[in-house]
Amino acid sequence: MLELIVYGIVLGSIISLGAIGLSLVYGILQFANFAHGDLMTAGAYVALFLITGPFAWLGISDKTFGPFSFGWRMVIAFPLSMLAVAGLSILLDRLLYQKLRKRGSSRVILAMSALGASFIIRMGVLIIWGADSLFYRSGLLRPALELPAGIKIRPDQILILIIVAVLVILLHLFLQKTKMGKAMRATADNMELARISGIDIERVIMWTWGIGGGLASAAGILYGIDVQLHPGMGWNFLLPLFAASILGGIGNLYGALVGGLIMGVVQQVSTAFLLPTYKPAVAFIIMILLLLIRPQGLFGGKTR
């Protein structure tokens, strides 16, 4: 059981990265980005492409670092994929959402458009890589470390937790210290007021998509390292992502962080009683209960 909780925290940290991005986009743009899960998928596969394609061709060493299951190729691919998916989500905004926004379309039409985008991304992945599960590295898993109380954990998983922590701290510093971060928070509070104060809303929106996409990409790659890559992985994450951001209060980033961890632990612990394939259903049930009891989330979000 303790082991399941530890694995749940690892899964939860990945969910948190996605949920923070989702909550950020919701807070500023006011619509449910149904493509967020598939941005995770896109990130995972862009990294796979870089590792197996150009990097192999360039002759970058395939050797792994000590106890970890990846090497230099992944270290270079990770930030590049984050940038690529940040670019992809900005591109989607320019091609689709911006046009709808300018025409004054309702939030539901924007969400519909995002749903369409999510299918387009997934079909793209399916056309290029097919429907099978893939791994960054074939071969045996690295031996697990034995922690006290008989908990086995792979070195990769410890590193995942560290990477998530670093990314969250960087985001925190960005939002608190930089001018753009402050502009983003102001826009999330009140877009009209921010506009009147001279904040360039379109730039804020661009940064929002960039950060949301980058974090989603990181989450997708980390899941790929921990488990596997699959074209449906992002779609399966969609329910936990929404459950986590609703749990934390929509628009509340620190809430989304905690919400993600809770969802990870609950989903993982549920496998002790239910088939693992029921994980998305567990997320759904929690979300419904939450909507019944406390729709504003545990920590309160924007009052909507």
Partner 1 sequence: MPFGGLLAYLVSFAIMAGIYAVFSLGLNIQWGYTGLFNIGIAGFFCIGAYISALITLSPPSGTYAEYVHQAFALNMPFPVGLLGAAVVCGIIAFLIGIPTLKLEEDYLAIATIGIAETVRLIFNNEQWLANGPRGLTGLPQPLSGIVLPRYYNYIYLIIVVTALVFIYFLIERAIRSPWGRVLRAIREDEVSTAMSGKNIFSFKMQAFVFGAMVMGIGGALYAHFTIAISPEVFTPLYGTFIIWVMVMAGGSGNNKGVILGAFVIWAIWTGSQFLTAYLPYTLKSRAPYIRFLIIGILLEIILISRPKGILGEEKRVSKMTD
Per the document, the length of the chain is 304
Rounded to whole angstroms, the Cα distance separating 258 from 263 reads 9
Contact string 7-46 vs partner 1 (x = CB under 8 A): ------------------------xx-x------------
Interface with partner 1 in residues 193-252 (CB under 8 A): 235, 238-239, 242, 246
Question: Interface with partner 1 includes 272 (CB under 8 A)?
Answer: no
Instruction: Tell me the backbone φ, ψ of residue 2, rounded to 5 degrees.
Output: -60, -35
By DSSP bridging, strand 152-153 and strand 145-146 are: antiparallel
- Residues near 74 by beta carbon (within 8 Å), at least 6 away in sequence: 47, 51, 136, 221, 225
How many of the other CB atoms lie within 10 Å of CB of 102? 8
Contact pick of 52, 64, 105, 228 for partner 1 (by CB under 8 A): 105
Question: Interface with partner 1 includes 300 (CB under 8 A)?
Answer: no
What is the closest distance, in whole angstroms, from the C-beta atom of residue 244 to partner 1 in the complex?
12
Rounded to whole angstroms, the Cα distance separating 40 from 234 reads 6
**Near partner 1 by CB under 8 A, which window of 102-110, 146-154, 214-222, 265-273?**
102-110
CB of 118 within 8 A of CB of 235? yes
The site for partner 1, by CB under 8 A, has a size of: 44
Question: Interface with partner 1 includes 107 (CB under 8 A)?
Answer: yes
Question: Interface with partner 1 includes 113 (CB under 8 A)?
Answer: yes
Question: Interface with partner 1 includes 126 (CB under 8 A)?
Answer: yes
What is the closest distance, in whole angstroms, from the C-beta atom of residue 99 to partner 1 in the complex?
5
CB of 68 within 8 A of CB of 156? yes
What is the closest distance, in whole angstroms, from the C-beta atom of residue 248 to partner 1 in the complex?
15
Q: Is 105 left (phi over 0), alpha (psi -120 to 50) or beta?
A: beta
| CA distances in angstroms from 36 to 69, 82, 244, 261, 292, listed in the order given | 27, 14, 13, 18, 25
> Where are the strands (E) in the chain, listed by range?
145-146, 152-153
Q: How far apart are the first and last CA of the chain?
A: 38
Question: Interface with partner 1 includes 267 (CB under 8 A)?
Answer: no
Contact pick of 1, 149, 196, 275 for partner 1 (by CB under 8 A): 275
Question: Interface with partner 1 includes 134 (CB under 8 A)?
Answer: no
Contact string 142-161 vs partner 1 (x = CB under 8 A): --------------------
256, two tokens: 């989304």
Provide long-range contacts, Cβ within 8 A and 24+ apart, for 188-195: 188/24, 188/27, 188/28, 188/251, 188/302, 191/28
Question: Interface with partner 1 includes 83 (CB under 8 A)?
Answer: no
**Near partner 1 by CB under 8 A, which window of 5-13, 59-67, 142-150, 274-282?**
274-282
**Near partner 1 by CB under 8 A, which window of 136-144, 170-178, 254-262, 282-290?**
282-290
Where do contacts with partner 1 occur on this chain (CB under 8 A)?
31-32, 34, 95-96, 99-100, 103, 105, 107-109, 111-113, 115-117, 119-120, 123-124, 126-127, 130, 235, 238-239, 242, 246, 275, 277-278, 280-281, 283-285, 287-288, 291-292, 295, 304
